Chain A
């Protein structure tokens, strides 16, 4: 089973890297880019095949290491 964890800065936390990318896109002539936010995608290969157990395990991974919940939110997709 594969878990994909998307980690993003929380809404309301200024994302300086996303802002820099937005400026760069504007400089390249892309009009109408109103906002850019940059995050991380983490893929995890899991041995088990129980989605419930995997969800619990990956949630714990996010809380303990993969995301810093002071500034980041996370989303887990399993397949």
Chain B
């Protein structure tokens, strides 16, 4: 199973993501934002956290226009998998691959702590390793994680069972405490919390492991 981790100027969770995916059994290649294509045979594209392009204009807006993002959009349109974490989630909403937008946290402050995260659905390759309603402990670290969708889109996401995660307490003002959403074909997941930071007991917890292990396992089997 082959994964590509995208690297923008300002990405800072790219290597953590690569380490976590390798630990889960993936073969990982780093891909620079100026590359016009993805490596041959990529099953999963991971868009990591960080501050791509210094968060200029809007978080993820400039990254979403980079050459590699056009390749990521093609990959997804062909049925490929993509995972966007934190800034990666912001990038995926800016490309239009996921609905909604991430705004400045309602409390204005940067939030950096481990939060309880409820699993909204286990009907995806990302979340199949969890039970619906299960509470995970996963770290967040963001200033702009306040997820906004209009009422009609929120109802559609609920009706289609596409809300992957919600916060167990008030973190950033997100509509419906939404922390992560799936695409219509359930192959793209964007989430503000960092599962790649929760794969090593020495770093405080391993609740992210079931996601990455399950995802890599599902794609190996596919």
The interface residues of chain B, by DSSP majority, are classed as: loop
- For the complex formed, measure the closest distance between the CB of A68 and the CB atoms of chain B, giving whole angstroms: 5
Alpha-carbon distance A66/B107, docked complex (angstroms): 25
Alpha-carbon distance A68/B104, docked complex (angstroms): 14
A65-B65, A68-B94 known; A16 vs B101 contact (CB < 8 Å) = no
Check if B57 sits within 8 Å of A13, measured CB to CB: no
- Tell me how many residue pairs across A and B have CB atoms closer than 8 Å: 35
**Which bucket holds chain A's interface residue count?**
10 to 19
- Partner of B57 from the list A14, A16, A17, A66 (CB cut-off 8 Å) is A66
Q: Is A27 an interface residue (CB 8 A)?
A: no
- Determine the chain B residues whose CB is within 8 A of the CB of A16 once the complex forms: 103-108, 146, 173
**Which bucket holds chain B's interface residue count?**
20 to 34
Check if B106 sits within 8 Å of A14, measured CB to CB: yes
- For the complex formed, measure the closest distance between the CB of A14 and the CB atoms of chain B, giving whole angstroms: 7
A-B contact pairs, 12 of them (CB 8 A): A9-B103, A13-B148, A16-B106, A16-B108, A17-B104, A17-B108, A64-B65, A65-B61, A68-B94, A70-B93, A70-B99, A71-B101
Give the interface of B toward A (CB within 8 A): 57-58, 61, 65, 93-94, 99-101, 103-108, 146, 148-150, 173
